Structure 1
Amino acid sequence: MNHLETSYTTQDGLKLYLQAWLPEEPKASLLLVHGLGEHSGRYDHLVKTLNQLGVAVFTFDGRGHGKSAEGKPDAFFASYEDYLKDINSLFEKVKSYVPNVPSFIYGHSMGGGLVAAFVLKYKPEASGVILSSAAIKEAEGTSPLLIASAKWISKIFPRLKVLALDANSISRIPEEVSKYLDDPLVYTKSIPARTGYELLRMTRFIQDSADEFSLPVLIIHGTDDKLTNPEGSKLLHAKAKSSDKVLQLFEGGYHELLNDLDSKKALDLIHDWVKTRIE
């Protein structure tokens, strides 16, 4: 197994950290898009699971995240549409680097929302999409006043820290929470106003366009996820016009299903779903 590390310069001049794990003879490829505040190095179990199938896994640290951040990670990006441009460019590079095999896209949390928005906006040629705890719908009971004020706050004070995420909500396993909090590449402070507003814009776009989603899709979400709303996953599954669509809800599951009590069940599900689509 070859592990590669490199960088990619975006259309607006940012340098993003990229890494990939390549089997000797890839049977498929997959681009992985991580979640808010975290980074691409937190998916060892998934990478190993996919590599065993012969899937080449490519991933990157997004804008303001991990090793792509200038200085320390701050989870800041000015436009979710810039993020979609990054995904589009990198997915095309993945397909050209490993040609003539099925290609997949995986997104977790914010990354799941970005992947869903990417599919809806760019209509990529992909063999399938996996969405884990995707950010598609705001939390139930979100204040209308907060939503109304988000736009002007994000314009006037784009880097103002406005939204705190509870790390204890990522997993029911205390050791996983500790690993998350102790990781210097994970951003654990409050999210900047602009980032929060752009994610709100992204979710509204997905909700308005969900009936145009046509790619094969596996959607997984924990029913006790307090960081992204499981109702968003249900909405996309119900509205998508895909003939091949699966929604799996994990009863009592927290936000990071791959690092939670049902991690083996989640990994086995992903393994089997991909396997049937590359053989």
Structure 2
Amino acid sequence: MRHAQDRTFTTHDGVELFYRHWPATDATPGEPRKAVLLFHRGHEHSGRIAHLVDELDLAGVDFFAWDARGHGQSPGARGDSPSFATSARDVQTFCDHLASTHGIDEENIAVVAQSVGAVVVATWVHDYAPRIRSLVLASPAFKVKLYVPFARPGLALMRKVRGNFFVNSYVKARFLSHDPQRVASYDQDPLITKSISVTVLLGLYEAAERVVADAQAIQVPTQLLISGADFVVHRKPQEQFFERLGSVDKEKHILPGFFHDTLGEQHRAPAVASMRRFILQNFARPLNRPSLLEADRLGATCAEAETLARSLPRNSLRDLYWRMTRASLGLGSRLSAGVKLGFATGFDSGSTLDYVYRNQATGLSPVGRMIDRNYLDSIGWRGIRQRKVHLEELLRLAMGWLREQQREVRIVDIAAGHGRYILEAMQGVTPLPESILLRDYSDINVRDGSALINDKGLDGIARFVKGDAFDRQSLATLTPRPTLAVVSGLYELFADNERVAGSLAGLADAVEPGGYLIYTGQPWHPQLELIARALTSHRDGQAWVMRRRSQAEMDQLVQAAGFRKVTQRVDEWGIFSVSVAQRVQ
């Protein structure tokens, strides 16, 4: 038996999470260290999955298993987390910790996760596109069997009224496993919590629906274990997830008679043997991911965008619905300042984004302001404002890295809109950057952005000029040569990868080696059809049809240009990501 070392790591918000580490007992000298990460199911903790270390019998591999927030020996209200997205980010922070503390790179990690832990991990893989070696998901809780009619909307309504509260699990231990010892230990373990917060439960549902719907974005080799007699979660979403998986190498194993605690079942040896074989096979092969550089011409998001661009059959129910939606928006534009501005300049224009950033409802009469507030509170615009928060955070972080390297901070934003997020990120920064160059193709943005520079008192170091973000030559010859380049909210508006690649290549020529690139992505959006059928673009008032890029696709484009991704942020809905990459020497 291997013996665990008890350790902790610090999350992004300062929480010390507990984890166990089982060092390798027979590592090959000179080879990179490899690791298997184990993620327990809901209500439980790392001790409940520790038996897999010996059962998998991988002597040359380190094993790690954490106690999630609010579980086991980790702090926090039992069964709670600030949000489901926070838990997914914790996984990324854990991997960053393993790299910095234990010298284990993401490329040498395999992951095994069960139930709620499997959904957390699947969300992380979807949203962050980590370059891990393989993924094993056991009975992922994509849809929990609540058994009470309208339980989910009822819980959501109660949370609005009461705030966050906790519900107890109805599941008895005897319905989790056939193993008598496992059942007895579940009932006697003081570290097991039977409660779960409604915030986590509802977040679980929302994240699961998104990940199942967009599983094509996941490229990691994946093995799915489905319990054949699961009383806790529904099987259909698990099957849908597997069918839609974008992984070239994927396996599905249905385990007859298994209860929900798949990895703790009485006769689990064949399942463990399949896991071991899958993990070893993927460790033995070089890391390989399909190229997504031509995903604009072939694949799921290409087809999705083409479907949204097609006209609907005249007078069909959907056609009538969207015509009514457009008419209601047109009526709303007479009262709401935000909707009016969207129709006037484009809902994707710099002027509209600056209005969304200010987040002040205005309009004619209280009714107009109410319409405007509803418009500003749409999930897409909430995501845009969170993207601004992440942009400002990562701008300050990258500037700090440059200062630590005793390098000048010379910023360029190639499609800045009004430049508000850049200029407001400078508040409280000492010393200020040596230079800030803002560019945009719109004369309106150049005019209003220049006024904002003056208003912020930054005209001594900042200037705004007209420029084409897709002109590779003009980007390559930027003066002064930037050490920190920013491209935000631009590439999401253009489906063509060749055009994006040319822009990134120009930035690669411009940015000094060791300098940084901050770039945004839009891997998911729940309102794509609304945007395409009812809103207009700044480009001659055309329909605003967007092609989503998965995080993996966006990262590949950046890597192909000569940058190495360093860190990432994503909003709680998984809509907008902000990443930092470093120019390879």
Give the TM-score normalised by the residue count of structure 1: 0.90
Q: Which residue of the other structure, out of 192, 196, 210, is the alignment partner of 1:186?
A: 192
How is 1:128-277 mapped onto 2 (pairs within 5 angstroms)?
128-139=134-145, 143=149, 145-155=150-160, 156-161=162-167, 163-188=169-194, 190-277=195-282
Q: Deviations over 1:147-199 (max 9, x none)?
A: 223323234241232553332221012221111111111113x4332221121
Q: Which residue of the other structure, out of 49, 64, 69, is the alignment partner of 2:75?
A: 69
Q: Deviations over 1:91-143 (max 9, x none)?
A: 22224424366211121110001111111011001111010111123438763
State the alpha-carbon separation in 2 of the partners of residues 220 and 148 from structure 1: 29
Q: Is contact 1:106-1:130 (8 Å) kept?
A: yes
Larger strand share, 1 or 2: 1
User: Where does residue 82 of structure 1 map in the other structure?
Assistant: 86
Give the TM-score normalised by the residue count of structure 2: 0.45
Look up the SS of the partner of 2:13 in the other structure. Answer: coil
Structure 1 residue 146 displacement after superposition: 2.0
Q: Deviations over 1:192-215 (max 9, x none)?
A: 322211211221221222121111
Q: Given the superposition, is the C-alpha separation of residues 210 and 267 from structure 1 closer, same or farther in structure 2, using an over 3 Å criterion?
A: same
Deviates more, 1:226-235 or 1:251-260: 226-235
Q: Which residue of the other structure, out of 111, 133, 156, is the alignment partner of 1:127?
A: 133
Look up the SS of the partner of 2:112 in the other structure. Answer: strand
Q: What stretches of structure 2 of length at least 5 have no aligned partner?
A: 285-585
User: Where does residue 51 of structure 2 map in the other structure?
Assistant: 45
How is 1:104-123 mapped onto 2 (pairs within 5 angstroms)?
104-123=110-129
Q: Given the superposition, is the C-alpha separation of residues 183 and 2 from structure 1 closer, same or farther in structure 2, using an over 3 Å criterion?
A: closer
State the alpha-carbon separation in 2 of the partners of residues 214 and 222 from structure 1: 23
What RMSD in Å do the two structures reach over aligned CA positions? 2.1
User: Where does residue 323 of structure 2 map in the other structure?
Assistant: none
Q: Deviations over 1:195-249 (max 9, x none)?
A: 2112112212212221211110011021111112222321111000111000001
Q: What stretches of structure 1 of length at least 5 have no aligned partner?
A: none
Structure 1 residue 9 displacement after superposition: 2.1
User: Where does residue 7 of structure 1 map in the other structure?
Assistant: 8
Q: Is contact 1:22-1:51 (8 Å) kept?
A: no
Q: Given the superposition, is the C-alpha separation of residues 142 and 131 from structure 1 closer, same or farther in structure 2, using an over 3 Å criterion?
A: farther
Deviates more, 1:103-112 or 1:202-211: 202-211
Deviates more, 1:147-156 or 1:197-206: 147-156
State the alpha-carbon separation in 1 of the partners of residues 188 and 256 from structure 2: 28
State the alpha-carbon separation in 2 of the partners of residues 137 and 225 from structure 1: 12
State the alpha-carbon separation in 2 of the partners of residues 3 and 34 from structure 1: 16
Q: More relative contact order in 1 or in 2 (CA 8 Å, sep 6+)?
A: 1
Tell me the number of residue pairs that the alignment of Structure 1 and Structure 2 aligns: 275
State the alpha-carbon separation in 1 of the partners of residues 113 and 211 from structure 2: 14
Q: Is contact 1:78-1:198 (8 Å) kept?
A: no
State the alpha-carbon separation in 2 of the partners of residues 33 and 214 from structure 1: 20
State the alpha-carbon separation in 1 of the partners of residues 206 and 38 from structure 2: 22
Q: Is contact 1:163-1:196 (8 Å) kept?
A: no
